[in-house]
Structure 1
Amino acid sequence: MFTLKNNFKLIPFVLLISSFNFLFFHIPFFQFVFETINYKSLNGIFVIASLMVLMLVLNAFVFSLLLTLSQKIGKFLLVLFFLINAVAVYFVATYGVIIDESMIGNILNTNYDESSSFFSYKLIIYLVLLGVLPSYIIVKSKIEKITFKKFSILSGLTILFALVLVFVNATNWLWIDKNSKKLGGLAMPWSYVVNTSLFYIHEYKKNEKEILLPDAKIKDTEKAIVVLVIGESARRQNFSLYNYDKNTNPLLSLTPDVFHFDANSSATYTTAGVKSILDHKETSDLYEILPNYLYRNDVEVFWRTTNWGEPPVHIKNYQDRAYLQSIAKEEDKNYDAVLLSGLKEQILASKKNKILVVLHTSTSHGPSYNTKYPSQFEHFKPVCKSVELSNCSQNELINAYDNTIVYTDYLLHRTIEELKQLKSYKSTMLFVSDHGESLGEKNLYMHGIPMSIAPKEQYEIPFIVWLPDDSSKKIKKFDMLSQYHVFHSVLNFLHIESPIYNEEMNIFE
Structure 2
Amino acid sequence: MLADSLSRRVNVERSPLTLAWATAIWIGLLGNWPLWQRMLGMPDFAGTGGRLFIGLFAGMVVMVLGALFSLMAWRVAVKPLMSLMLILTAPLAYFIGSYGVVIDSTMITNALQTDLRETRDLMGWGLLINILVLTVLPLLWLWRQRLGNKPWLQRLGWNLLSLVLALVLGTGLGALRTADLASTLRNHKVLTKMVSPVNAIWATAALGVQKQKAPKGPPEVVGADATLSARPAGAKPPLVMLVVGETARSENFSLNGYAKPTNPELAQLPVLSYREVASCGTSTAASLPCMFSHLGREVYVDRPTHQETLLDVLQRAGLAVLWIDNQSGCKGVCDRVPNVQAINPARADHPLPQGLCGADGECFDEAMLHDLDARIAALDPQRVARGVVLVMHQMGSHGPAYFKRTPADRKPFQPECRSSALQQCPLEEVRNGYDNSIAYTDHVLAQAIRWLDGQQGRFDPSLLYVSDHGESLGENNLFLHGMPYALAPKQQKHVPLIVWLPSGTRAAQHLDSDCLSARRDTPMSHDGLYHTVLSLSGVQTAIYRKDWDWVAACRR
Shorter-chain TM-score: what band? over 0.9
Q: 2:245 matched to 1:231?
A: yes
Corresponding residue for residue 354 of structure 2: 330
Corresponding residue for residue 17 of structure 1: 23
Corresponding residue for residue 141 of structure 1: 145
Deviations 1:147-183 (A, max 9, x none): 2444444433333334444556543454244256412
In 2, distance between residues paired with 1:325 and 1:293? 33
Deviations 1:88-122 (A, max 9, x none): 10111111111122211111111111101112222
In 1, distance between residues paired with 2:336 and 2:64? 51
Contact 2:364-2:406 at 8 Å conserved across structures:
yes
Corresponding residue for residue 219 of structure 2: 210
In 1, distance between residues paired with 2:271 and 2:20? 67
Which range is displaced more, 101-110 or 159-168? Answer: 159-168
Corresponding residue for residue 360 of structure 2: none
What's the C-alpha RMSD, in Å, of the aligned pairs? 2.2
**Map of 1:19-58 to 2, 5 A cutoff?**
19-34=25-40, 35=42, 37-40=44-47, 42=49, 44=50, 47-58=53-64
In 2, distance between residues paired with 1:315 and 1:340? 22
In 2, distance between residues paired with 1:4 and 1:443? 44
Give the one of 160, 180, 183 matched to 1:175. Answer: 183
In 2, distance between residues paired with 1:23 and 1:39? 19
In 1, distance between residues paired with 2:414 and 2:478? 22
**Map of 1:64-463 to 2, 5 A cutoff?**
64-68=70-74, 71-145=75-149, 147-148=154-155, 149-166=157-174, 169-172=177-180, 174-179=182-187, 181-208=189-216, 209-215=218-224, 216-221=226-231, 222-282=236-296, 283-284=300-301, 285-308=305-328, 310-312=330-332, 313-323=334-344, 326=347, 327=350, 328-333=352-357, 334-348=363-377, 350-352=381-383, 353-422=386-455, 423-463=457-497
Deviations 1:398-445 (A, max 9, x none): 111111111100110111111111121011000000101111111111
Query: How many residues are matched?
Result: 506
Contact 2:29-2:58 at 8 Å conserved across structures:
no
Unaligned runs of 5+ in 2: 358-362
How far has the Cα of 1:77 moved from its partner?
1.4
Quick one: structure 1 residues 154 and 230, their matched pair in 2 at CA, closer, same or farther if it must change by over 3 Å?
Answer: closer
Name the SS of the counterpart of 1:430 in structure 2.
Answer: strand
Given residue 96 of structure 1, which amino acid in structure 2 is its aligned partner?
G
In 2, distance between residues paired with 1:9 and 1:507? 65
Unaligned runs of 5+ in 1: none
Quick one: structure 1 residues 144 and 315, their matched pair in 2 at CA, closer, same or farther if it must change by over 3 Å?
Answer: same
In 2, distance between residues paired with 1:501 and 1:18? 54
Give the structure-2-normalised TM-score.
0.86
Which range is displaced more, 136-145 or 370-379? Answer: 136-145
Quick one: structure 1 residues 357 and 121, their matched pair in 2 at CA, closer, same or farther if it must change by over 3 Å?
Answer: same
In 2, distance between residues paired with 1:77 and 1:186? 21
Quick one: structure 1 residues 181 and 210, their matched pair in 2 at CA, closer, same or farther if it must change by over 3 Å?
Answer: farther
Given residue 218 of structure 1, which amino acid in structure 2 is its aligned partner?
L
Identity of aligned residues (%): 26
Given residue 382 of structure 2, which amino acid in structure 1 is its aligned partner?
K
In 2, distance between residues paired with 1:386 and 1:45? 34
Give the structure-1-normalised TM-score.
0.93
Given residue 524 of structure 2, which amino acid in structure 1 is its aligned partner?
L
In 2, distance between residues paired with 1:507 and 1:14? 57
Name the SS of the counterpart of 1:108 in structure 2.
Answer: helix
Given residue 221 of structure 2, which amino acid in structure 1 is its aligned partner?
L
Name the SS of the counterpart of 1:4 in structure 2.
Answer: helix
How far has the Cα of 1:204 moved from its partner?
2.4
Which range is displaced more, 332-341 or 232-241? Answer: 332-341
Contact 2:45-2:53 at 8 Å conserved across structures:
no
Quick one: structure 1 residues 39 and 344, their matched pair in 2 at CA, closer, same or farther if it must change by over 3 Å?
Answer: same
Which range is displaced more, 280-289 or 235-244? Answer: 280-289
Deviations 1:230-253 (A, max 9, x none): 000001111110111111111000
